[in-house]
């Protein structure tokens, strides 16, 4: 039945019509595919990017972290994990308002992206906390990255204007770790940095 349909004169006429319309059809198909691609990019951004800061969201970070920890388990390379917390952010919000607070968060997101490598994963954990995953990076090398970020934040004119400083907690993957264990250690290191006077990076 289908074979006869393909051999029918009506189907042959249809094929001829397609040939006649093919330049326009190709143009329309190209435009349609471009639109689909743009929509996919938009959906990907909505699913992975924190709209307030422009860095990755926590859900995406957790997913990537699990993949990178799996690599570290298999001995593919070292892995470092950094939590950054804005010092005195509540005071900034209370005195300058949430619009300024949001602006500072966005500004910091830009600084973090600029002064990390393209394969580092920068994300917003929540509130004024950011997490950075540093694949193929020993804790010694990660400390250099951390100090660079802190130094560049202190040089940024907007950060200076609002008196923003950073406290950070850094840790490295060790056998038996998962995302939660690394996060707990890094968080403890942040607490230590705050306790020791803020505007510093502690390692745990």
| Active-site residue set | 128
Tell me the C-alpha distance between 121 and 64, whole Å: 8
* 8 A C-beta contact, residue 123 and residue 68: no
> Counting runs of H as helices and runs of E as strands, what totals does the chain give?
8, 5
Tell me the C-alpha distance between 64 and 87, whole Å: 27
Give how far Cα 160 sits from Cα of 18, 155, 163, 166, Å.
Answer: 65, 7, 5, 12
* Cα three-residue angle 51-203-75, rounded to 5 degrees: 85
Tell me the C-alpha distance between 69 and 66, whole Å: 5
């Amino acid at each position: 039945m289908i074979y006869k349909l393909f051999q029918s004169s009506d189907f042959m006429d249809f094929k001829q019509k397609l040939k006649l319309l093919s330049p326009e059809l190709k143009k329309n198909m190209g435009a349609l595919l471009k639109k689909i691609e743009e929509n996919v990019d938009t959906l990907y951004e909505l699913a992975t990017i924190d709209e307030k800061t422009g860095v990755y969201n926590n859900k995406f970070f957790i997913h990537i972290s699990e993949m990178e920890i799996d690599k570290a388990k298999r001995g593919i390379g070292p892995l470092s994990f950094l939590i950054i917390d804005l010092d005195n952010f509540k005071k900034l919000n209370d005195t300058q308002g949430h619009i300024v607070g949001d602006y500072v968060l966005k500004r910091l997101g830009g600084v973090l992206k600029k002064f990390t490598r393209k394969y580092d994963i920068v994300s917003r954990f929540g509130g004024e906390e950011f997490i950075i995953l540093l694949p193929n990076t020993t804790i010694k090398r990660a400390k250099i990255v951390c100090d660079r970020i802190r130094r560049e934040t202190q040089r940024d004119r907007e950060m200076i204007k609002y008196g923003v400083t950073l406290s950070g907690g850094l840790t490295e993957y060790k056998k038996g770790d998962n995302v939660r264990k690394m996060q707990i250690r890094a968080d403890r290191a942040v607490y230590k940095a705050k306790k020791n006077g803020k505007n510093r990076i502690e390692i745990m």
